[in-house]
Amino acid sequence: MLKAKRIKPGDTIGLFSPSSPISPTCPVRYERGRAFLQSKGFRVKEGSLTGSFDGYRSGSIQARAEEPALPYGFPQPAAWTNEVINWAAQDRPKEVFPNQWVTLGEGMAEGRLMGGNLNTLDGIWGTEYMPEIRKGDILFIEDSLKDAATVERSFAHLQLAGVFDSIGGLILGKHEQFDDCGTGRTPGEILLEVMGEPKIPVLAQFDCCHTHPMLTMPLGCRVRLDASEQKVELLEDPLQ
Adjacent-strand bridge partners of 239: 4
Mean pLDDT of 113-127: 94
Q: Please check whether residues 86 and 58 belong to one and the same domain.
A: no
Which residue blocks in the chain are alpha helix, DSSP H?
22-25, 27-39, 61-66, 118-124, 148-160, 163-166, 187-195
Q: What is the pTM of this model?
A: 0.82
> Residue 67's pLDDT is what?
79
35 assigned to some structural domain? yes
Helix residue spans in 4-117 (DSSP H): 22-25, 27-39, 61-66
Q: Is 74 part of a structural domain of the chain?
A: no
Calculate mean pLDDT across residues 83-108: 82
Instruction: Using alpha carbons, select from 68, 71, 113 the residue that is nearest to residue 217.
Output: 113
| Contact predicate 191/67, CB 8 Å | no
- Number of CB atoms found within 10 A of residue 171's CB: 25
Query: Are 95 and 126 contained in the same domain?
Result: yes
Residue 37 inside a domain? The answer is: yes
Q: In this structure, is residue 49 part of a structural domain?
A: yes
What's the mean per-residue pLDDT of the chain?
90
Least confident of 33-37, 88-92, 127-131, 194-198: 88-92
| 177 membership: H or E segment, kind and range | none
**Judgement on whether residues 173 and 230 belong to the same structural domain of the protein:** yes
CA-based nearest residue to 75, from 211, 229, 240: 229
Residue 106 has pLDDT above 90, yes or no: yes
In angstroms and rounded to an integer, the radius of gyration of the C-alpha atoms of the chain is 19
User: Looking at residues 33-39, what average pLDDT do you find?
Assistant: 94
- Note the residue count of the chain: 240
146: domain CATH number is 3.50.30.60
Is the pLDDT confidence value at 68 over 70? no
Query: Would 2 be classed as within a structural domain?
Result: no
Residue from 124, 106, 114, 123 nearest 192 by CA: 106
Reported as a pLDDT band with limits 50, 70 and 90, residue 185 is very high
Would you say residue 219 lies in a domain?
Answer: yes
Distance CA 221, CA 202 (A): 18
Share of the chain above pLDDT 90, in %: 66
With CA atoms as reference, report the closest residue to 141 among 190, 185, 84: 190
Angle (CA) 177-181-184 rounded to 5° is 85
The answer to the question of residue 187 being in a domain is: yes
The pLDDT assigned to 70 comes to 39
pLDDT at residue 109 in the model = 98
- How many structural domains does the chain have? 2
CB 112 within 8 A of CB 222: yes
> Domain residues for 48?
12-66
Contacts of 186 (CB under 8 A, 6+ apart): 178, 180, 204
Q: What is the pLDDT of residue 69?
A: 45
